[in-house]
Structure 1
Amino acid sequence: MTTYSPHTRAVDAPEVAAYWAERRRYLERVRKVPEIRQRFWREVAIYLLRRLLWSFGFFPIFIAFWIPFVLSSFNPVVMAADLIPLLQDFVDSNPEVQATTISTLAIAWASIGFIFLVFDFVLTPFRSPYEYEADVYMRSWEQLNVDQLPDKM
């Protein structure tokens, strides 16, 4: 059993049903508009491209430079002095060791990218232009129909 404080407004079930029925009808109509459909696919492409660039471009590069920079106490001379022997060993090694090192770096890059991609999809979900259009329409619908709806408590 739900109790309401005097300052809480109860929403009647017919009002909620009318709202969602109108929203559903509007979404059915707006999905047929070619301009909005085109905007939807463009925004999907931009969203996916942005997520991929952040996850596989920015974050792995940032981590690859930030961790050695922190370990060198934010001193680029120390960082270079630590990395030059590693690069020289890589160049002097045989092709099998070089291939293993490159594949290890590629696996690390991909794993960091996929981890950030999953978190990025969770933290920044796609916002459909259809939903935006429906939100705007329903705000105006509420304003127009506020006098026709039953009074709230």
Structure 2
Amino acid sequence: MHAPEVAAYWDERRRYLERIRRVPEIRHRYWRAIGIYLLRRLLWSFGFFPVFLAFWIPFVLSSFNPVVMASDLIPLLEGFVSANPEVQATTISTLAIAWGSVGFFFLVFDFVLTPFKSPYQYEADVYMRSWEQLNHDQLPVNR
């Protein structure tokens, strides 16, 4: 594409985005999409990945044998229950810090891999496809 065609395209896209930013329905869809996006990222990062790693790593270390895994974990749990409250509090805070650090790592990683897709951009893409088809013959041609 030549420079006038590109400039006309981006100018029309900018004007269209300014117009649709005033539409309450799309604004509502935008805030809803942000909420769903953030909730999904938080649930994956702090819900799925730490739980998956907490069960998968011991399962791998026990050679995929749940009996071996349980027999390894039972003495640890008995030691935790019989420990004094100070040791229990330290263990729980260490697990909480590990959970948070794993979740935060995956949250940052997830934000990079799956960026937010704005409903405004989607609407503009749809509009610009139809605009290109309608204005294809009217755009200046530089040869």
**One-letter amino acid matched to 2:3:** A
2:15 equivalent to 1:25: yes
Distance 1:71 1:151 in 2: 66
Deviation at 1:149, TM superposition (A): 1.5
2:27 equivalent to 1:37: yes
**One-letter amino acid matched to 1:30:** I
Partner of 1:53: 43
Partner SS, residue 116 of structure 2: coil
Partner of 1:144: 134
Partner SS, residue 10 of structure 2: helix
Farther off after superposition, 65-74 or 143-152: 143-152
**One-letter amino acid matched to 2:30:** F
- Alignment equivalent of 2:78, drawn from 58, 66, 88: 88
Q: What does 1:4-23 align with in structure 2 at a 5 Å threshold?
A: 11-23=1-13
Distance 1:142 1:13 in 2: 15
Q: What does 1:65-80 align with in structure 2 at a 5 Å threshold?
A: 65-80=55-70
Deviation at 1:150, TM superposition (A): 3.0
Deviation at 1:49, TM superposition (A): 0.3
- Alignment equivalent of 2:97, drawn from 91, 107, 129: 107
Distance 1:42 1:103 in 2: 34
Computed over aligned residues only, the root mean square deviation of the Cα atoms, in angstroms, reads 0.9
Partner SS, residue 125 of structure 2: helix
How high is the TM-score relative to the length of structure 2? 0.98
User: What 5-or-longer segments of structure 1 have no aligned partner?
Assistant: 1-10
Deviation at 1:152, TM superposition (A): 6.7
Distance 2:92 2:44 in 1: 22
Partner SS, residue 138 of structure 2: coil
Deviation at 1:151, TM superposition (A): 3.7
Change (3 A) 1:150 1:138: same
User: What 5-or-longer segments of structure 2 have no aligned partner?
Assistant: none
Greater helix content: 2
Structure 1 vs Structure 2: percent identity of aligned residues? 82
Distance 1:151 1:119 in 2: 44
Distance 2:8 2:31 in 1: 30
